Amino acid sequence: MSDPLLEELLQALRCLPGVGGRTAQRMALHLLERDRRGGERLADVLGRAVRDIRRCDRCRNFTSADICDICASNRRSDRVLCVVEAPGDVLAIEQATGFEGRYFVLLGRLSPLDGIGPEDIGLDQLERRFAGEPIEEVIVATNSTVEGEATAHYIAGLASRHGVRLTRLAQGVPLGGELEHTDQTTLAHAFASRLPVSE
Amino acid sequence: MSDPLLEELLQALRCLPGVGGRTAQRMALHLLERDRRGGERLADVLGRAVRDIRRCDRCRNFTSADICDICASNRRSDRVLCVVEAPGDVLAIEQATGFEGRYFVLLGRLSPLDGIGPEDIGLDQLERRFAGEPIEEVIVATNSTVEGEATAHYIAGLASRHGVRLTRLAQGVPLGGELEHTDQTTLAHAFASRLPVSE
């Protein structure tokens, strides 16, 4: 007994992550009752974004141009390249660190069982960059999952073949975290990899 | 250092209730990485919804037609009219009860301080319905707030003038609720309004 267009909107909103029936209803009614201009703007921008945002030709990150802002910038160093799995990782690193090198975004990870091989995540393109650019260090920042580790291992092979120094993010107990609440694997790793304290 | 169109999308998503910076980022990346078709569909439906969804000529509920489905249905009774503040209340009552009468949606509540008078929430239109239709009972289901009560009081005046019987939702402790966690006002009201138990 609800309006068909309103029903369609409730369904369409559920494509958003974490949005179920009740949240979709709250969002739809909020936009219709209180913020039609916001809804109009969202519809317009979202339409343009899913149509125009593509992968950067150089680093595979999301961009609406041919080359993303980071690759196009001449203020960043060509000597350090950070390899991540997803565009969200670039945003996280940009917000948290003062990194001034370039990125390479795999948009996935090696997963032979799912039929995802090196070419599917641009590792051939990465190798060409190792060969043709003055890259001295590659920082592998893939996730600490089985597939992430396998991907890191593959990249290590490419890097050593082209004489590029490889580094990985430090692993251990999180800053500000309590030992009691740290998961066992992390704690065991941090314990085994303990470092000398200089005086 | 982020893409301008992506930035614009992150901003636009924040018009949704309960969506802050991090959620907007998660939503945008989810749509771009995994569900472009869902994003396209949402953009299209949302654009049509904010343009085409208007108020029903009879009950002021949201509809994309002139008259909403509930008003247009000939299976519902014209004798009982339920007055609510918002379209979400209609959905809630439809889902929870077996109500088979019609609705009238105020889309607001009386609030002289904010300059919201009877005409702004369609009470003149409601009075014309009392006068011209075979309404026998009006169920006032406005919220239990100061403005909601004031609105209910005003409607009670209209109803008595036109000889329409007025009822309100029962107030008391919620079913399945624990006394210990019931707010004081509700508990005091329920205690004072205690009912005899028939054997």
Residue range B80-136, pLDDT digits in tens: 999 999 998 998 898 889 899 999 999 888 988 889 899 999 999 999 999 999 999
User: Residue for token digits 């009238």?
Assistant: B104
The whole-model pTM stands at 0.80
Q: Give this complex's ipTM.
A: 0.82
Out of A9, A16, A33, name the one closest to residue B49 (CB): A9
Determine whether the interchain pair B88/A36 forms a contact, defined as Cβ–Cβ distance below 8 Å: no
Out of B12, B53, B73, name the one closest to residue A46 (CB): B12
Interface of A with B in 37-76 (CB under 8 A): 38-53, 62-65, 68-70, 73
Give the C-alpha separation, A25 to A21, whole Å. 6
Give the C-alpha separation, A22 to A14, whole Å. 10
Residue range A139-168, pLDDT digits in tens: 999 988 889 999 999 999 999 999 999 999
| Chain-centroid distance, C-alpha B128 | 21
* Least confident residue range of A62-76, A89-103, B95-109, B178-192: B178-192
Pairing status of strand B137-140 against strand B165-168: parallel
- The sign of the torsion formed by the CA atoms of B176, B178, B181, B185 equals positive
- DSSP H helical segments within chain B, as ranges? 4-13, 21-34, 36-52, 69-72, 87-96, 123-132, 146-161, 184-192
With beta carbons under 8 A apart, name residues in chain B contacting A30. Answer: 16-17
pLDDT score of A44: 97
Q: Bridge partners of B83?
A: B104, B140
pLDDT score of A198: 78
For every residue of A11-64, DSSP letters joined together read: HHHTTSTT--HHHHHHHHHHHHHH-HHHHHHHHHHHHHHHHH-EE-TTT--EES
CB A35 within 8 A of CB B49: no
Determine whether the interchain pair B17/A28 forms a contact, defined as Cβ–Cβ distance below 8 Å: no
CB A167 within 8 A of CB A140: yes
Interface of B with A in 68-127 (CB under 8 A): 68-70, 73, 86-88, 91, 94, 107
**Number of residues assigned to chain B:** 199
Determine whether the interchain pair B41/A91 forms a contact, defined as Cβ–Cβ distance below 8 Å: no
Q: Which residue of chain B has the CA closest to A13? A: B42
Q: Which domains does chain B have, with CATH numbers?
A: 4-52 (1.10.8.420), 68-196 (3.40.1360.10)
Determine whether the interchain pair B68/A3 forms a contact, defined as Cβ–Cβ distance below 8 Å: yes
Q: Which residue of chain B has the CA closest to A42? A: B12
Residue range A8-48, pLDDT digits in tens: 999 999 999 999 999 999 999 999 999 999 999 999 999 99
Residue range B39-56, pLDDT digits in tens: 999 999 999 999 999 999
Q: Note every long-range contact of A107-111, with CB atoms under 8 Å and residues 24 or more positions apart, other chains counting.
A: A107/A55, A107/A60, A107/B33, A109/A85, A109/A142, A109/A143, A109/A145, A109/A147, A109/A148, A109/A150, A109/A151, A110/A147, A110/A150, A110/A151, A110/A154, A111/A147, A111/A150
Out of B29, B36, B69, name the one closest to residue A88 (CB): B29
